[in-house]
Chains A and B, each alone.
Chain A
């Protein structure tokens, strides 16, 4: 089915061009790169910590190993531009797939494009340079594939198996796909009649394929923890806020889906099987909001078309392939050619690196800077970084006690034998250390490095 692909490719190229304008600056990218680099140098999966002082040797999640490898290989071939190129291509594929599925369900391409727009705009907030974006691309591909498989499309059924195997090694979000396959399986078993048996078999195979990863069933542990215990102190795991622009976009898709469903019910149980679980999941945290939005785009396009049949064209709209493909290609090439080649390090303690290199001792660092330090100051194992899960427990509790200068802050620094503290000058810990006689080894507007007297 190629209907709508030309326009979708064009929309994908436009969004990819937008994505190419932002330099690399994700706080987590650095430890992903470091992990990928370690794996290539050692020829093994990075299964235990090699970067911190507080959890050295402890088990670390490996469910993103393949995504980390992709990022490292991209960096190896093209430095920061290579990483950005991965983002551009990922966004292109993501937007093209979502737009295509929406346009294909609409009576007019414009309806499909409009229906997809809130979801695509919302996806902007997850265009991070990390395996999560690659996982989101696979999620976008998974949705139409799973629905086609559910309808009895054999190639789609077959494709699900390697897709899930790939996803389980790229990013922990594969668990969402597993849940949807289970729900679709029940839906097919109860309401699917003739086409249900092959689908059930392939769905089961696809789920089994997710165990083909270095951890096997253990790959489910970290995503499960994140869903049931979202770390609310991390901004992306915060509560969906409909009074902000991203939250408003999410609300538009959620309430739009509810409204259009009420005004023009599709009656399809498969729509319920996909949208209901994702609506629930998307309400749980900021970073989950795009999932429902992306899944609802084709539904919105379909229901608007059903509600407004008069908008359907009398003759089929011709696909502008001769214009779309060259335009999209040109846009992609131009975007990549003019993309920033250096990262945006304005949020990181770049100025403190020299002073850090000149000092020895155990380091206590700001959470957001951990990945940057792993990459740029590997001689100083970090206290904590964005890999959150291995730090849960004593280390995370101690970090939160010290960074906010709660009553036990001194005891924490003493117990970990901390000699160097690298934090923001506005943090409570910085305020206390300045009054406690610690020397300032480096200071600027955004960074301060203390050394123990």
Chain B
């Protein structure tokens, strides 16, 4: 095992420990689990919606069917602890390959560690328990393979042939596989511009990848992905542009500025591939918060590679540091070995600390009992839809995180109701809403209480109302 691999393993294990102790808190986890449960119970792919009242029997996207089944398998194996362990494993894989990417371009850990930790910190907001997490891991793996081929083993390129079968897996795990195809394309453009021999291998890999990526129940997904990227649904928090005044946005801003400063100051012999990679990926990252980690990983690698020469440009070194280099050759492996053992021990402890229950503080858990006796047609908060699908399956939801099912008609009606647009009462009647489960500060709640609807249950998080 080489020193960079050892170091990457330590990072991966440490990240595993951080990820495994987090409780499950993503509202979309529930409907993914419910979808997988339905598929297992019925022995077939879920192709029509069975969970909502507003889109009942509408065609259903099956692009993530394998990803949903994997999460459900983890749930069956270990409950919510199984979910946490799977999440931590996938995050550890991401961290391992992210570290490998950074160490590929910057062998000295002292210069690699800061941008690496920045990339991992930015990625933390996407440590969610849903198929999207597989995209983060596979993206880091793809980038490592392609970058290693480009920077280290370019003449051969044989390792690139692992990518098409991975694409076949990716396309059935999550719709983000389009970014994998985009990565191969970018490296192909780089090879063509340099008139480098691997362009033929990359083209062949791309063609094979495109063909294999159609082997899923929902072919031609990249077209939908492109539409999603260029026109993101901004009313969903994770689809908003990054905010510089969040920890994630602030860290990304610092990385971007460090990259700009380093680029201005000192040349990099691999500048072309960096430009080809960074321009589209940074644009993607700036387009929505959920894409930021995909930009952060290559950006961190670039900063790790470019910052030291930039610093040397500012402060030219005065000595060879031979003694220090000699010491690090001995101390490095010893330190890494000690850290690895410590990290393994920490993993064992952390797994024991994995939460056995999800974090339900954001959900109307106390409303479930009263909900069972309320009229059938329900209007619920968007963020609670998945939770209700899983915990109150007898009650079809009005709306949930499966956005594509509800745009535009149901989504427009949902907004008209929650924001009290003119004509909202007609919408309430047209949708035959008999039960309302919303946050207490919603304008509609104030109106319905004034209009005499019965309050069945309430606490500081929700109000459950029944039409009189």
Contacts and interface: CB of A to CB of B under 8 A. Distances in A.
A425 B447 contact: no
B39 interface: no
Contacts of A251: 283, 286
B232 A243 contact: yes
A255 B445 contact: no
Contacts of A263: 271-272, 275
A344 to B, nearest CB: 26
A425 B282 CA distance: 41
A268 B443 contact: no
Contacts of B282: 254-255, 258
Contacts of B287: 241-243
Interface in A260-287: 261-263, 265-269, 271-272, 275-277, 279-280, 283-284
A257 interface: yes
Interface stretch (B75-83, B320-328, B418-426): B418-426
Contact of A276 (B261, B445, B446): B261
B143 to A, nearest CB: 18
A125 interface: no
A284 to B, nearest CB: 4
B223 interface: no
Contacts of B306: 262
A230 B245 contact: yes
Contact of B257 (A279, A407, A432): A279
A2 to B, nearest CB: 28
Nearest to A408: B446
Contacts of B272: 263
Contact of B265 (A258, A272, A283): A272
Nearest to B231: A243
Interface string B231-268: 11010000011111100010001101101110111111
A240 interface: yes
Interface in A46-105: none
B443 A428 contact: yes
Given A242-B286, A255-B283, A405-B446, A275 B242 contact: no
Given A241-B241, A284-B245, A271 B443 contact: no
Nearest to A229: B245
B261 to A, nearest CB: 5
B260 A257 contact: yes
B361 interface: no
Contacts of B419: 404, 428
Nearest to A406: B441
A255 B285 CA distance: 12
Contacts of B263: 258, 261-262, 265
A430 B313 CA distance: 63
A268 B310 CA distance: 11
Contacts of B229: 243
B259 A258 contact: yes
Nearest to A191: B314
A394 interface: no
A255 B443 contact: no
Contacts of B111: none
A242 B241 contact: yes
Nearest to B258: A276
Given A406-B443, A406-B446, A431-B420, A280 B265 contact: no
Contacts of B441: 406-407
Contacts of B261: 272, 276
A261 B234 CA distance: 32
A409 interface: yes
Interface residues of B, number: 50
Contacts of A338: none
A280 B242 CA distance: 13
B237 to A, nearest CB: 12
A266 B440 CA distance: 57
A269 B314 contact: yes
A275 B443 contact: no
A247 B282 CA distance: 13
Given A255-B283, A267-B313, A407 B240 contact: no
Contact of B264 (A240, A267, A280): A267
Given A243-B231, A284-B245, A405-B443, A279 B256 contact: yes
A190 B287 CA distance: 37
Contacts of A230: 245
Contact of A426 (B241, B245, B260, B421): B421
A272 B306 CA distance: 14
A240 B306 CA distance: 27
A447 to B, nearest CB: 14
Contacts of A428: 419-421, 443
B447 A432 contact: yes
B279 interface: yes
Interface in A422-438: 425-426, 428, 430-432, 435
A275 B261 CA distance: 8
B260 A240 contact: no
Given A267-B265, A431-B421, A276 B257 contact: yes
Interface string B263-294: 11111100110110011001100110000000
B264 A271 contact: yes
B265 A265 contact: yes
Given A268-B264, A279-B260, A280-B253, A242 B420 contact: no
A261 B443 contact: no
A176 interface: no
Contacts of B314: 190-191, 269
Nearest to B282: A255
A246 B3 CA distance: 46
A267 B260 contact: no
A283 B443 contact: no
Nearest to B424: A431
Contacts of A406: 441-443, 446
Contacts of A404: 419-420, 443
Given A276-B261, A280-B253, A265 B283 contact: no
B2 interface: no
A259 interface: yes
A261 B441 CA distance: 50
Question: Which interface residue of B256, B259, B420, B447 has the most chain A CB atoms within 10 A?
Answer: B420
A255 B279 contact: yes
A273 to B, nearest CB: 9
Contact of A280 (B257, B424, B445, B446): B257
Contacts of A409: 443, 446
Contacts of A254: 282
B253 A283 contact: yes
B317 interface: no
A228 interface: yes
Interface string A215-256: 000000000000010101000000111110001000100110
B373 interface: no
6 contacts: A228-B245, A258-B278, A262-B268, A275-B264, A283-B286, A432-B443
Given A255-B278, A280-B256, 16 more contacts: A228-B245, A239-B241, A240-B241, A243-B231, A258-B260, A258-B279, A263-B275, A265-B264, A272-B261, A275-B260, A279-B257, A283-B249, A404-B420, A405-B447, A407-B446, A430-B422
- Pairs A-B, 4 closest by C-beta atoms: A261-B263, A428-B420, A239-B241, A405-B443
Interface of B: 229-232, 234, 240-245, 249, 253-254, 256-257, 259-261, 263-268, 271-272, 274-275, 278-279, 282-283, 286-287, 306, 313-314, 419-422, 424, 440-443, 445-447
